[in-house]
Amino acid sequence: MRALLSVSNKAGLVEFAQGLLELGFELVSTGGTHKTLQAAGLEVVYVSEVTGFPEILDGRVKTLHPRIHAGLLATKRPAHEAQLQAQGIPRIDLLCVNLYPFRETLARGASFEECLENIDIGGPAMLRAAAKNHQAVLPVCDPADYPEVLQALRTGVSSEFRRRLAYKAFAHTAAYDAAIAEFLAYEKFPQTQLLSLERLPVELRYGENPHQEAALYALEGQRGPVLHARVLAGKPMGFNNYADADAAWALVSEFELPACVAVKHANPCGVALADDPKTAWERARDADTLSVFGGVVAFNRPVDLETAMATRGTFLEVLIAPEVSPEALEWFRSKKPDLRVLVAASQDADQREVRPLVGGFLVQDRDKRRWEELSLHYVTERIPTAQELLDLKFAWYVGKHTRSNNVVLAKDGVTVGLGTGAVSRIWAAERAIQNAGERARGAVLASEAFFPFDDVVRAAAAAGVTAIVQPGGAKRDEEVIAACNELGVAMIFTGSRHFKH
């Protein structure tokens, strides 16, 4: 039996090779792999001794040879066996290959030329050959599989195991090629967009509903703050928990001051700023004590014991923060054993967003526009006060992360009324005003899209709202501005809508 080993990732290589030798394999290897095995004192044949041809072009050509690929592609059919014997080509029974570190080279910001040099050619060719011929050749591309491969060789390799390794090899080369294609794309949204997804080691009971089977995937090479969060305590996460935590974390991350966001069904139900996370939680909770029950909360500051204890008496599904103190974690485990406690993972700021449609996807830049980037237009006779301006900024961020149509009422850094996911803007406003009640008096209002009529202004002013921020750009903007001037309401146009469907 013969095994060909050619790996960039040397983890577990020597132990795996030793195991193959003990099973009676002859080892053949290339370049750095050969040096590593020789240095470990293992008996190994250099690939040039098999091909009768030296490595050339700085190692670009070493395994692209009939004596290698015939050994990989020959089936167990008599005709193939006869041709191998006639040419004096030994069969290769196991191929162990992992590819040049192209993605790692790209990630560390290497030059274009260095990235090109780290595009593997021979490795994918051999892996694909072995995977195609997996009934005769065992393709191995993941060091994590080495122990299982050795065990299977000792006890008997099943056809199911061979097929699983073949699938893994083709998936490995497909993802590798997708990364290269994206690197070489000459436009932001190329004609062919290749999305490589990697299943996460998370066991979901079901998808959005119990009758929907599901698995959770991450875009390869990207880290999600919630998808890759550390789960410190509580029951296993479900998809809806991930979705709500993702929405909560996205919003709380917008704020520079200590903040807490409570979310229900991917919409904020209570958002607050404060001098410390405990007070932020209490203000967010009190913004809507009914909806926060069974919700998800996110903090943009570490959660300490005092903050943890303040959640007593409120049933929550998930809590996510940049850190959780050991004392707080112990309290959660003791007093709220079912609460999922997460520490958010770091995130690449340049990630794109993929939104599904039946039969396809939207690929778009994330909505990262910040208040400071807006061209604000003060369109009314009355200019917002300093406090109103702070609250308008706060409410604008909340609206940016709330399902359309939405209207947000806020006062002193706390949401006091939310109208979300309405099919009419006036209905969204009426819902927010009703939710706020007396708290609407002296509050500000934010809308993620323009006002087609002046009805929202009149309803808001009647409830006591004093200032409004909205994109502007409607046909009846002059009527809307006139209504504000008539009622003494300050208004700012941002020139930037934030639909969220």
Could you give the C-alpha distances from 162 to 12, 136, 199, 201, in angstroms and in order? Answer: 21, 9, 20, 22
Catalytic residue at 401? no
Please list the alpha-helical segments (H only) found in 40-135: 47-51, 66-73, 78-87, 102-107, 112-117, 122-132
The residues that bridge with 142 in the sheet, in sequence order, are none
Tokens coding 393: 């900024």
- What amino acid is encoded at 256 in this protein? E
Q: Of 265, 368, 393, 501, which one is the catalytic site residue?
A: 265
Which residue from 46, 86, 91, 88 is spatially nearest to 68, judged by alpha carbons? 91
DSSP codes joined into one string, 366-392:
-----GGGS--EE-SSSPPPHHHHHHH
Backbone angle region of 75, left / alpha / beta, with phi > 0 → left and psi within -120 to 50 → alpha: beta
Q: How many residues does the chain have?
A: 501
Q: Which residues of 375-393 are buried (b: 16+ CB within 10 A; e: fewer)?
A: ebeebbebebeeebbbbbb
For residue 57, what are the contacts with CB-CB under 8 A and spacing of at least 6?
Answer: none
Give kind and range of the element (H or E) at residue 269.
strand 267-273
3-state class (DSSP) for residue 415? strand
User: In which residue are the tokens 């939710």 written?
Assistant: 435
Neighbours of 195 (CB within 10 A): 13
Answer positive or negative: Cα dihedral of 35, 36, 41, 44.
Answer: negative
Tokens coding 141: 């591309």
CB 501, CB 403: distance < 8 Å = yes
Q: Of 65, 80, 132, 168, which one is the catalytic site residue?
A: 132
Catalytic residue at 228? no
d(CA 124, CA 59): 15
Which residue from 320, 270, 266, 321 is spatially nearest to 292, judged by alpha carbons? 270
DSSP codes joined into one string, 304-351:
-HHHHHHTTT--EEEEEES-B-HHHHHHHHHH-TT-EEEEPPP--TT-
- What amino acid is encoded at 68 in this protein? I
Q: Active-site positions?
A: 132, 265
